[in-house]
Amino acid sequence: MLRKHLSEFSLDKSTLYFSEHHLSHAASAFYPSPFKKAAVLCLDGVGEWATSTTWLGDGKDLKAISQINYPHSLGLLYSAFTYYCGFKVNSGEYKLMGLAPLGKPKYVDLIMENLVDVKEDGSFYLNLTYFNYTRGLTMINEEFENLFGHPKRTPESLIDQFYKDVAASIQHVTETIILKMVKYLKEVTQVDNLCMAGGVALNCVVNGKIRETKIFKSVWVQPAAGDAGGALGAALALYYNGDVTRKIEEKDSMKGALLGPMASRSETENILSNENIKYKNCSYCELASLIEQGSVVGFYTGRMEFGPRALGSRSIIANAKIPDIQKIINLKIKKRESFRPFAPIVLAEDYHRYFVSNYDAPYMQFTDYIQSDQFPGVTHVDGSCRVQSVSKEKSPEFYQLLNEYKKLTGESVLINTSFNVRGEPIVCSVKDAISCFMRTDLDYIFLNGFLVDKKDCSELQVDEVYFGAD
């Protein structure tokens, strides 16, 4: 099949190379990192047979150290609990992570005694009596439900305290296992830096705790830590398999993860004119003023982000100081569960002013604790938040907006959430953005320097801007 499609590009005679799943993850974590030498930890559901792998990267060499094989998988263990708590497997794991701070880890002992055997070096073995993913189409079986004494939660039903406690417990178990693995990896490699990838590395709470422990001096997580990053890793692994020298950038070589498609200003203007949408030029100063007054704005600039996070190119922005802003955006715009908080963005130079630690966090891969109670919209019940630090080099447009906002208000923290509605991917094209804008209660949309006011679009029907022909 590959040969057939490659023939369309006259590449059918080319040599095909195959990169193993975890090698791709490891390469995606190590090669773009700012480290010459680093330990690499890859954790996911499963790839070929490996579920957890450890590596040592040195220069352009990446050497496999050890692995744990299917069916013993930390990713699948977390997914089993995601399923049990009524969320979708492979996409709802982050909701389980968001639910965890609302509960107490009451079931840690039950999990450790019955479901998973964890050794001191972080390696583990699952008790398959309770899981069904090896032989069926569900993650867990009746024995699992009997163990906890409650049935699987029905999706969309009210989340009672029991499931919040279960979420807190599995989050705690995951943190325990990973921290043990990290200690083991430090002992084995004796290096100062750690790189991480794999779907489990998207658990920013665990990542934050790894950094807090200071087992490794520096930690770098691939922004597209899930399988999307595997494509990048496969390409990098092949590239560095050749006779090339590895260039190491001071921060990292991910270019702010802004690797996706873009629309120029003239293309944007053409689309707006063709669709008879009223628009005007808008400066970052004007935009900052609208946000300060409480408007919720769709922000669309430059290249799209690569990976699961909206890092300022396809974002919804709002004032983090408004008390009900979380409720407004969750229920009116994003149409998602009300318990989930939003992520704050902060000017990189002001990071220490608002947060407990003083790290660089350009890819929203770590949680930190906020020092002020003035930003309810971005603070979880335990005071944690998934912060993104914005620098001029990595996100120039986002930086300008925050800078203008700071000049206006003295604060440099805003809400940033992905530009999409529940069940849909993040908008990619200008047309996607306008379509999403029309179907939500967003007040304004900022498109590559042009501003559209929702009040001017009241006569337009959603179908008119949904561009079915495209």
Partner 1 sequence: MRYILERIKNFLWAVESFLVELCCLILYFLIFCPYSLILKIFKVNSLYLVNRKSKTFWVESSKAKTIFEDQY
How near is the Cβ of 106 to partner 1 at its closest, in Å?
A: 23
Q: How far apart are CA 360 and CA 267, in angstroms?
A: 34
Q: Which of 4, 9, 10, 15 binds partner 1 (CB under 8 A)?
A: 15
Nearest residue (CB) to partner 1, 120 versus 156: 120
63 lines the binding site for partner 1 (CB under 8 A): yes
Query: What CA–CA distance (Å, rounded) separates 68 from 66?
Result: 7
For 152, which DSSP code? Answer: P
Beta strands in 297-398 (DSSP E): 297-300, 314-318, 343-347, 367-369, 384-386, 388-390
Minimal distance, residue 135 CB to partner 1, in Å? 6
Radius of gyration of the chain (CA): 23
Quick note: the x/- pattern for partner 1 over 174-193, rule CB under 8 A, is ----------x---------
Please give the full DSSP string across 36-84, using - where no structure is assigned.
SEEEEEEEEEEETTEEEEEEEEETTEEEEEEEEETT--HHHHHHHHHHH
Per CB under 8 A, which of residues 66..95 are in contact with partner 1?
66-69, 72
Instruction: Decide: is 125 part of the binding site for partner 1 (CB under 8 A).
Output: yes
- In angstroms, the CA 75 to CA 45 distance is 4
Q: Which of residues 142-171 bind partner 1 (CB under 8 A)?
A: 143
16 binds partner 1 (CB under 8 A): yes
Cβ-based nearer residue to partner 1, 114 or 253 = 114
**Is 238 an interacting residue with respect to partner 1 (CB under 8 A)?**
yes
Interface pick for partner 1 out of 36, 88, 104, 119 (rule CB under 8 A): 119
Nearest to 41 by CA among 155, 151, 186: 186
Cα–Cα distance measured from residue 139 to residue 206, given in angstroms and rounded to the nearest whole number? 23
Rounded to a whole number of angstroms, the minimum distance from the CB of residue 177 to partner 1 is 11
Closest CB 111 distance from partner 1, rounded Å: 14
462 CB neighbour count, 10 Å cutoff: 12
Based on DSSP, count helices (H) and strands (E) in the chain, helices before strands. 16, 17
129 binds partner 1 (CB under 8 A): yes
Does 117 bind partner 1 (CB under 8 A)? Our answer is: yes
Work out how close the CB of 289 gets to partner 1 at its nearest, in angstroms, rounded to a whole number: 55
Q: Is residue 53 a contact point for partner 1 (CB under 8 A)?
A: yes
Q: Which one of the spans 127-135, 263-271, 319-327, 366-374 is the region binding partner 1 (CB under 8 A)?
A: 127-135
93 with 79: CB under 8 angstroms?
yes
Query: If binding is defined by CB under 8 A, does position 25 make contact with partner 1?
Result: no
Residue 62 interacts with partner 1 (CB under 8 A): yes or no: yes
Give the whole-angstrom CA distance, residue 237 versus residue 19.
8
Going by C-alpha positions, the residue among 55, 87, 88, 53 that lies closest to residue 73 is: 53
Least distance from C-beta 434 to partner 1, angstroms? 44
Per CB under 8 A, residues contacting partner 1 are: 15-20, 23, 50, 53-54, 62-69, 72, 117, 119, 121, 123-129, 135, 141, 143, 184, 237-238, 241
